Amino acid sequence: MDAKVNKKDLDWSKLGFQYQRTDYRFRATWSNGSWDEGGLIESEFISTHEGAPALHYAQQCFEGMKAQTAEDGRVLLFRPDLNSDRMNLAGPRLLMPEIPREMFIAAVEQAVRANYAWIPPYGSGASLYIRPMLVGIGENLGLKPAKSYEFRVFVSPVGPYYQQAGLALISLAVSDVDRAAPKGTGSFKVGANYAGGLLATKRAQELGANEALYLDSLENRYIDEAGSANIIIALKDGTFVTPKSDAILPSITRRSIMTLASEQLNLSIEERPIDLRKEFSNFKEVAACGTAAVLTPVGRIWFDNEWHDVNDDGKSVGPIMQKLYDLLIGIQKGEIADPHGWVHEVVL
């Protein structure tokens, strides 16, 4: 297939974070103990039995990644090996098969390459969102693992997750429902965590917030994470902290930002429990981070029945988050040095 076809005629800079059908997706099937070779297909529909365990018992997991176009036209993924590793934790947690890393990366590359025309151009502010997913399919009724699995990778060009360009601030509302139990599935990217969070997001949005913020479900004190992003905080005492919790998704973006904060900004970094009410007055800059959210500063947080402005301001983007954002997207777009080899070129 000649990948280098003309780009689609989309208004790239106006894209939101919505599904846009693209031409091809990768599909492989697991049955009788092994994966078939898989390949690209055109249909965006999955046809499965009405008893499929993915539909009844949420036996499914997924990943989220992005491809960016660099100024020289190269197409870059960001740390796809870590998405593969994370899916290989979630799958087995739900008794689903592992996907060998080479197969995962090759599937992602095929889906990206085949949809070259849909990859937003450099400078458009948009990127190609990539959604690998693993679902338990086939006939079933009782509570037991599926006998067959489908691994699929589809892609969709997307704009900013929070419907605002650049580094505008968002607000979060502490949820009165829990996302994940201490020994539950909170640290795995499984759909069940998100279904349980839909109500929290709705309630947060009714309060005027962009997203829900979850505290730990044991004591309702320590920050866990936002609905679709981890939390990072620059404290007034100069340290840069992020919650330590077994119930949150280990964000690849956060891991990268913590490295940048330490190595490039020389900040002292800590991963530790963060007591929201006790420590809020020491928060200087707060941000949500993730593949979709990138790094989005948080201006105010709703808890204990009122809004609390971060750093008594709530309106301006702080210098630390601005620098980290610039460093992160600079590396992701191939604009600045990548000393750790985080970007992975998809050869077209």
Q: Which one of 17-25, 139-147, 198-206, 225-233 is the stretch in contact with ligand PLP (CB under 6 A)?
A: 225-233
The CB-of-252 to ligand PLP minimum distance in angstroms stands at: 4
Instruction: Give the N- to C-terminal CA distance of the chain in Å, as an integer.
Output: 10
Decide: is 261 part of the binding site for ligand PLP (CB under 6 A): no
Tokens 């151009």, residue located: 121
C-beta separation of 310 from 299 below 8 A: yes
Q: How many CA atoms lie within 13 A of 251 on its CB side?
A: 29
Q: Which of 53, 290, 297, 318 binds ligand PLP (CB under 6 A)?
A: 290
CA dist 155 and 220 (Å) reads: 37
Backbone CA torsion sign across 219, 222, 228, 230: negative
278 carries an active-site annotation: no
- Rounded distance between C-alpha atoms, residue 139 and residue 208, angstroms: 43
Q: Does residue 292 belong to the site contacting ligand PLP (CB under 6 A)? A: yes
Closer by beta carbon to ligand PLP, 96 or else 229: 229
84 counts as binding ligand PLP under rule CB under 6 A? no
Select the residue interacting with ligand PLP from 172, 252, 321, 328 (CB under 6 A).
Answer: 252
Binding track, positions 140-159, relative to ligand PLP; x by CB under 6 A: --------------------
User: Which residue's CB is nearer to ligand PLP, number 38 or number 159?
Assistant: 159
In the complex, residue closest to ligand PLP by CB: 290
Closer of 114 and 226 to ligand PLP (Cβ): 226
- Pick from 179, 184, 185, 264: nearest CA to 223: 179
Select from 107-115, 244-252, 306-314, 322-330 the region that touches ligand PLP (CB under 6 A).
244-252
- Residue (249 or 343) nearer to ligand PLP, CB: 249
- Cα 258 to Cα 280: distance, rounded to the nearest angstrom: 20
Contacts of residues 257-264 at CB distance under 8 Å and 24 or more positions apart, as own/partner, are 257/232, 257/289, 257/295, 257/324, 257/328, 258/232, 259/340, 260/324, 260/327, 260/328, 261/232, 261/320, 261/324, 264/323, 264/327
Which listed residue (68, 201, 242, 253) binds ligand PLP by CB under 6 A? 253
Shorter beta-carbon distance to ligand PLP: residue 58 or 252:
252
- Answer for which of 130, 249, 294, 346 binds ligand PLP (CB under 6 A) is 249
Residues in the chain: 348
β-pairing, 25-31 with 148-158? antiparallel
Task: Give the binding site for ligand PLP (CB under 6 A).
Answer: 64, 225, 228-230, 249, 251-254, 290-292
Catalytic residues: 189
